Structure 1
Amino acid sequence: MTITRRTLLAAPAILAMTPALAQASKITLVVPFPPGGSTDAMARLLQSHLQTKLNRIVIVENKSGAAGALGAAQVAKSPPDGSTFLVTFDSHAVIPSILDKPPVDVERELMPVLLVGTAPYVIAAGAGRPYKSFADVVAACKATPGAVKYASVGIGTLGHLAMTVLGNKAGVEIMHVPYRGGGPAMNDVLGGHVDLIAGSAALVAAQLGTNMLRPILQLGRERLPGLPDTPTAIEAGFPDFETLAWWGIFAPTGTPPDIVAGLAAASKEILSEPATAAQLKETQQMTLLLEDAPAFKTFFDKQVAIWGKVVKDNNIRA
C-alpha cells in the first residue's frame, strides 16, 4: 500500500491494537446474514486488507437467523478482547422491537465501533406496471384496496417499515409480500408477480440498466446522482421522511477503548482508499461517513427509537 499522510496519522491507533491482540490467533468478523449480501461483501472487503494491516489472521463467519439477532448474540457473548467483531446492516436497530424475546440486548451488550456509511432506500415498479410515481400507487390503492403488492427482504426490515409509514401517511394499504433476501424479491418483481419493491439503492440500482425496473421514489433527503429523475419522499409530499440503509461495526461491550479505536482507525484507512471508496459508491450507492463510536452511538440510538415506534404502533412481529 502507498504510505500517505493519513496512513501515518492512523498508525499509532492501529498499532495500539497489536499488543492487545497478541494472544489471539485470529480476528473473526461475524456477519449476521447469509453470504452474498452487501454486509457480507463489506466484511470480506475489510478482511483481506485487515490481515495485511494488522498482521493477523482475519476470517468472516456468516451466522444468520432471527433477523440478524443470532449473529449479534454470538458477538455479544464473545470475550471483549478484540478477537470478535460484528459487521452488520440497518435491521440491527429493529432487533429490540421486532422480536418477542431477542437473544441479545443490542444496546447494552454491544458497543459501536464505526458507522461505515448510508444509502437511501428506493421504491421501484416493474416496467410492465403502470405506476410512474408514488401518487399513481396511492391512487390505485384507493381505487382498488389490496390490489397493489410490494416486495421487501423480510418482515420488519426497513423497506417493510418505510412502506408501512408511507401507506399510513397516504391513507392507503399497500399489500406486503416478504421474501428471504433481495434476490428472490427482485426476481418476482422483474417476473411480474409483484408490483413494487422497497429495497436499498444498491439492490435497485443493479437493475436500472435492464429497462425492467422503474424507480418511482427514493427515500433519502437528496436525490442520488444515479437517480436524478426520481423524486425524494420529501419532494413527493412526505415532509422530513427518510429511510437509510446503513452499515456498521460493533464489538462486545467491555472491549478496551484502544482496541475499538484501533479497529476503527484501520477500517477507516482501508475504506478511505480512493479505489475502495469508489467501489462502495458504485456498487452500494453508499455515502461514506466513517464516523467513530460516539457519533455512531447517537445515530444508532436514534434509529432504534424511530423504527421501534413504527413496529410498536403497527403491531409488527417477526
Structure 2
Amino acid sequence: MTHPLPRRIALGLGAAVLAAPALRAQPASIRIIVPFAAGGSTDAVARLVSPGLTQRLGQPVIVENRSGAAGAIGTDAVAKSRPDGTTWLLTFDSHAVMPVLLPSLPFDLTRDLDPVMLIGGAPYVLATKTDKPYRSLADVVTAARARRDGVSYGSTGNGTIGHLTMIQLQSRTGTSMPHLPYRGGGLAVNDTVAGHIEMMIGSAALVAPHVSGGTLRAVAQFGPTRLPGLAETQTALEAGFDGLTAEAWWGVFAPHGTPAEMVARMNAALRETLNEARARQMMEQTQQARLVLSDPEGLKTFLDAEIAKWSRVVRENNIRAD
C-alpha cells in the first residue's frame, strides 16, 4: 500500500530539487600548482596572490604543492591538465634548467605550457659568515687561487642557478671552489652561519634577512644593479665580471591551449593583485624582488633566453642533477 508523503516533507523535497541547480552552479575552484614543497619562496608568492585572485576572478583559488624531481612532478601535472582555466603553474627559476638537466621529461616546456606572466626576479647573493675574511669577489678569487683546496661554497643543489653561477665564476677566474649541494636553502644558511662552509650562494630573499640580522655578510650580488636592501654590496658587474648575472624569478604558466581570453584574465588579475600596496611591499621587502608583471609574450622571450643561457653552462661543464 502506497502512503502519500506528508505535505511539509513534500514541500521540503521540492525546495531541495529547485535549489539543486543553484548548488551545481557554484563557481569551480582554481588550482595554482606550486611544484615545490610548502615554505619556499614560490609557495610564499602563490599564497600571497591567492586571496586577491579569488576576489578578482570570483572563484576560490587554492594553492596545491606538488613537489619532487626538481619541480618536474608538479609541472607535469599542469602540462597534462585540461586547458579550461582551472589549473595554473607558479614556478621558479629552476624551470629554465629543467630540460637540459632532466632530458627524459614527460613534457616539453615550450610546447605543453603557455606563458602567462613573469612576476619578477631577485638577484642571487654570495654570502659568508661575518668573521670570515671575504668582503668582495676579489677576496674570494684571491683566496681560491692561493689555497690548494680552494674555497668551498654551498648551494641548494646541483644544477641550480646558484651552482651554475659559481661554475661560471670559476671558469672565468681559473679557480677551484668545491661545491657542497644542499637539499634546501635553510640548511645551507645554517652551515654557513655555523662556519662549517666558507660561503654560500642563494637568492636575496634567502640571504638578505641574515645579512640584516648580522649573522652573514653579503660578498657580492648578481643582479644588474644593487638592491636597496644590499646597497653596500657590489654587483658582479661592478667587480669587473661583465655579463655574470643571475636572478631568481617567478613565472606563471597555463596548460597549452588555454584560451587566450582566460590567459589575459589571469594576467590582469595577477597584475592588479601584485600592484596592491601590501602585496608589492611583501614582494619587494620580503622576497627582495624587482616586480616585472609582464605580458605572456614577455615571459616567453625571457624564458627562451634563460633556457639558452643556462643550458649552455650545463652542457659545457657536464653538470648532472642530484
1:178 aligns with 2:177: no
What is the Cα deviation at residue 23 of structure 1?
A: 8.8
One-letter code of the match for 1:152? S
Point out the more displaced range, 180-189 or 47-56: 47-56
TM-score (norm 2): 0.90
| 1:224-303 equivalence runs, <5 A | 224-303=227-306
- Contact kept? 2:150, 2:175, Cα under 8 Å: no
Tell me the equivalent position of 1:12: none
One-letter code of the match for 2:109? V
Tell me the equivalent position of 2:40: 37
- Cα distance in 2 for partners of 1:169, 1:219 equals 15
What is the Cα deviation at residue 25 of structure 1?
A: 1.9
- Contact kept? 2:157, 2:181, Cα under 8 Å: yes
What is the Cα deviation at residue 227 of structure 1?
A: 1.2
Larger Rg: 2
1:51 aligns with 2:54: yes
What is the Cα deviation at residue 100 of structure 1?
A: 3.4
Change (3 A) 1:72 1:23: farther
TM-score (norm 1): 0.91
- Cα distance in 1 for partners of 2:288, 2:241 equals 23
Structure 1 residue runs of 5 or longer lacking an equivalent are 1-21
Structure 2 residue runs of 5 or longer lacking an equivalent are 1-24
Tell me the equivalent position of 1:84: 87
Which of 74, 78, 88 lines up with 1:75 in the alignment?
Answer: 78
- Cα distance in 2 for partners of 1:145, 1:81 equals 58
1:107 aligns with 2:110: yes
1:155 aligns with 2:147: no
1:143 aligns with 2:146: yes
Root-mean-square deviation (CA, aligned residues, Å) is 1.3
- Cα distance in 2 for partners of 1:146, 1:293 equals 46
Tell me the equivalent position of 1:200: 203
One-letter code of the match for 2:256? T
Deviations 1:82-130 (A, max 9, x none): 0100001111000001113123211111111011011111111111221
Q: Secondary structure at the match of 1:241?
A: coil
Q: Secondary structure at the match of 2:61?
A: strand
What is the Cα deviation at residue 30 of structure 1?
A: 0.3
Tell me the equivalent position of 1:124: 127
Tell me the equivalent position of 1:6: none
- Contact kept? 1:114, 1:291, Cα under 8 Å: yes
What is the Cα deviation at residue 209 of structure 1?
A: 2.4
What is the Cα deviation at residue 174 of structure 1?
A: 0.8
Q: Secondary structure at the match of 1:207?
A: helix
- Cα distance in 2 for partners of 1:77, 1:145 equals 50
What is the Cα deviation at residue 48 of structure 1?
A: 1.5
- Cα distance in 2 for partners of 1:161, 1:117 equals 20
- Cα distance in 2 for partners of 1:95, 1:36 equals 21
Deviations 1:116-173 (A, max 9, x none): 0111111111112211111111111111133411111111111001011011111112
- Contact kept? 1:145, 1:172, Cα under 8 Å: no
1:60 aligns with 2:63: yes
